[in-house]
Amino acid sequence: MENYRLENRLGKGAQGQVFLAIDKSDGKKFVLKKVECTDETEATKAFKEAMALQELKHPYICGYKDFFVTWDKEEAAIIVCIVMDYYKMGDLDRLLKKKRKKNEAIEELILKKWCGQMIEALAFVHQRKVIHRDLKPSNIFLTDDLTLSLGDFGVATIMDDARTKARTTVGSMNWMAPEVLEKPYDERSDVWSLGCIILEMATCGFLDTQSMGEVLMGIKQDPARLEEALEPVGKTYSADLSQVIRTMLRRNFQQRPSALELVELPYIKECLALSNSALTGKKKEKEKAAKDCPTDKGIPGVMAFITENKDNEISITKAFKYLNTLQTPQIDEAGKKLIISSMKSSVSEVALQIEACRLLLTLTAAADAETDADDYLFSEEVIRAVILPMKAHPSSRDFQNIACSLLKTIALSEQAAGSIGKLGGIQDILSALRTHPSDAQVCANCCSALSYLTINDKNLDIMREEKGVVDLINAMESHETDSSVMDFTCSALWGLSLEDENVEMMAARGLAKVLLKAITDHKQHADVVKNGCMALSSLVAESEESAYLAHNSEGITIVAEAYHLHKENPDVVEYVCSFFMDLAETEDILEDMKSMSKVKDIIKEVKVKYASNEDIMGNVEMVDSMISGGQPPANRPSSARPKGK
């Protein structure tokens, strides 16, 4: 302490007091932080941890000049002192306050450069087993040339292993990841905090400090709060920036990428390139070194070629492209693992990812999801390899299409469907739906994948939390002339109708009327009619409001007309009758139905035509007894509510 003269106190926080200090030997300014310890043992441990921070030498990390332990007479406590670089330009928090005061946005080029610098710094410290745990704008400093420098690591930041609990709870609540207070966590908690900071930078032109604080606290509980905040961000910045923020702010930390995985995202590579980061790689050299794939040595020869050129993604892309020209290539498990390894090491190469997923789709479609459930193709490793590039290439329609198709096929395995939800695949599919709302093919593939995934109960919970119902209804309203979108959205909405909260959202959006329009516009398409009636039946069974809306929107007439077009199709007939049965549960509507000859005629015809079909006859007999006032069957048949749930 005798080497420094304390000028004035700069601040006080949970970890200690901060002072402006002058080095007596040369007069240079530094920041001196005093961290109070309860006893000598804690001081020794804190000192050892602090000493390790001296190894963090990087252009975007605040320099640590000195560490020492002293006795503070005034506080009557052992103090660990940390001497750090002083930044006269201040910190990011001060800059954001100035921007907010002027309602002035940060230019995207500058924001990208700063993002790259912060992510590079974070990747550097995480590689050295250090977690910051207290990332916030006031801990990010500006140098004279407006480069950012990550600082104030404090103590208790050294990781004991890859996954640890904090020795003490540190940090500020606004930027703290949701898992920090209650669960074991790893370096991805820092990724959440950095995502919050990037969101702050992107919103400083229109959100004040108080509003921003409310958003940061709100997104821990409700993903919809993040989407609300990102809507105006999309008017100023690129869609890729919004997607990066979504990716970093996944509430489940196991679905959140690490800093090193973020480096593989093309948008982040652009950010890194602005500061000439070594993490961007050397693509031009690889283009020159690329080789053509042999076509005369069979699949073993192609696999050997991929292994020999594992560091050249352009050569590997050529190999995958060749394999995709074969009808059904016979690739063993080692070959499948080689494909996945190539995907994981080249996340930023969208052409490679497209060809790899196309190849995996061919292989998965040829497998039997039930008998081959243990096949590597349905493993979590494969699923991870598909969903990470979905985050990396949000603007690539071709990739999002093939990835969603592949996830749908993988989801035919019940166990794999659960894994897709657990690993964040549903959020990635919803993100694709939100990023490409006007692209009918993307929407159809997304909705198709969701219709398979929502058979799983835990996936239903995820869809409810993410308010996926709203996205599906938006897709229906945006693509009302596209029969594929209508078919798959109706199917997915039927599955989601199991959850009461979803039913409330459906009723609030007037889904009954939307479904009836889909049936009307696509009455020639049996699948749309069937799935539309399924969803409609399930909805009116649980929502009286929706039942009245369907009835008042000529629902019975619309469904009756569709029946006459498809009365030879037992699947359509079953759900037409199910709709009538569930609609008749509402007393006022039942009274109207008693006088409708169109309903009576259909019931009479179905009773004769499908007398041996138990699924249909259960619904028919129930409707018949209700509208005739007779004795209902002893066992009421189930409605169109998803079966087996």
pLDDT tens for each residue of 345-391: 999 899 999 999 999 999 999 998 888 878 999 999 999 999 999 99
CB atoms within 10 A of CB 220: 19
Biggest CA–CA distance in the chain, Å, is 103
Asked whether the beta carbons of 223 and 215 are under 8 A apart, the reply is: no
- The C-alpha angle 197, 198, 204, rounded to 5 degrees, equals 85
**Residue 636 three-state SS:** coil
Q: Report residue 141: phi and psi, to 5°.
A: -105, 155
Concatenated DSSP letters of 578-617: HHHHHHTTSHHHHHHHTT-HHHHHHHHHHHHHTTT-HHHH
pLDDT for the residue numbered 284: 54
Lowest pLDDT segment from 21-30, 68-77, 262-271: 68-77
Q: Report the chain's terminal Cα–Cα distance, integer Å.
A: 68
The arithmetic mean of pLDDT across residues 118-140, rounded, is 91
Average pLDDT, the chain: 89
Lowest pLDDT segment from 284-293, 476-485, 599-608: 284-293
Q: Which helix (H) or strand (E) holds 31?
A: strand 29-37
Residue (of 505, 520, 436) closest to 470 by Cα position: 505
The arithmetic mean of pLDDT across residues 84-93, rounded, is 91
pLDDT for the residue numbered 167: 40
pLDDT for the residue numbered 165: 38
CB atoms within 10 A of CB 404: 28
134, 186, 190, 471: which one is catalytic?
A: 134
Contacts of residue 182, defined as CB under 8 A and 6 or more positions apart, other chains included, come to none
Same fold, 92-277 and 467-645: no
pLDDT for the residue numbered 52: 72
Which structure tokens are listed for 64? 């640590």
Rounded CA-CA distance 116/435 in Å is 23
Residue 424 has pLDDT above 50, yes or no: yes
Lowest pLDDT segment from 41-45, 303-307, 536-540, 608-612: 41-45
Residue 155 has pLDDT above 80, yes or no: no
What one-character DSSP code corresponds to residue 163?
S
Residue 162 has pLDDT above 70, yes or no: no
Q: Check if 134 is active-site.
A: yes
pLDDT for the residue numbered 641: 53
Rounded CA-CA distance 562/524 in Å is 8
Residue 50 has pLDDT above 80, yes or no: no
Using the structure block, give the residue that is written with the tokens 């789709």.
361
According to CATH, the topology of domain 4-85 is Phosphorylase Kinase; domain 1 (3.30.200)
Top-confidence residue, 234 or 171: 234
The arithmetic mean of pLDDT across residues 123-148, rounded, is 90
CB atoms within 10 A of CB 107: 11
Q: In what order do the strands lie in the sheet with 4-13?
A: 4-13, 16-23, 29-37, 77-85, 64-72
The arithmetic mean of pLDDT across residues 285-289, rounded, is 63
pLDDT for the residue numbered 170: 43
Which structure tokens are listed for 290? 């690329």
Task: Give the pLDDT band (50/70/90) at residue 464.
Answer: very high
For the chain, the C-alpha Rg in angstroms (whole number) is 30
Answer positive or negative: Cα dihedral of 283, 288, 289, 295.
positive
pLDDT for the residue numbered 166: 40
pLDDT tens figures, 564-622: 999 999 999 999 999 999 999 999 999 999 999 999 999 999 999 999 999 999 999 99
pLDDT for the residue numbered 364: 96
Rounded CA-CA distance 446/485 in Å is 9
Asked whether the beta carbons of 469 and 494 are under 8 A apart, the reply is: no
- Written out in words, the top-level CATH class of the domain with range 467-645 is mainly alpha
The residue count for the chain: 645
According to CATH, the topology of domain 92-277 is Transferase(Phosphotransferase); domain 1 (1.10.510)
CB atoms within 10 A of CB 375: 18
Residue 254 has pLDDT above 90, yes or no: no
Considering the chain, what percentage of its residues have pLDDT values greater than 70?
92
Residue 262 has pLDDT above 70, yes or no: yes
**Residue 430 three-state SS:** helix
User: What is the amino acid identity at position 572?
Assistant: V
Residue (of 413, 401, 418, 400) closest to 462 by Cα position: 418
- The C-alpha angle 606, 524, 584, rounded to 5 degrees, equals 40
- The C-alpha angle 16, 22, 28, rounded to 5 degrees, equals 125
- Strand-pair partners of 5: 22
Task: Give the pLDDT band (50/70/90) at residue 452.
Answer: very high
Rounded CA-CA distance 215/225 in Å is 7
pLDDT for the residue numbered 161: 40
pLDDT for the residue numbered 164: 36
Distance of CA 134 to the CA centre of its chain: 24
Which structure tokens are listed for 520? 């009307």
pLDDT for the residue numbered 158: 41
Domain extents in the chain? 4-85, 92-277, 282-448, 467-645
Burial state string for 380-389 with b = 16 or more CB within 10 A and e = fewer than 16: eebbbbbbbb
Contacts of residue 363, defined as CB under 8 A and 6 or more positions apart, other chains included, come to 328, 329, 331, 336, 377
Could you list the beta-strand ranges (E) of 465-547: none
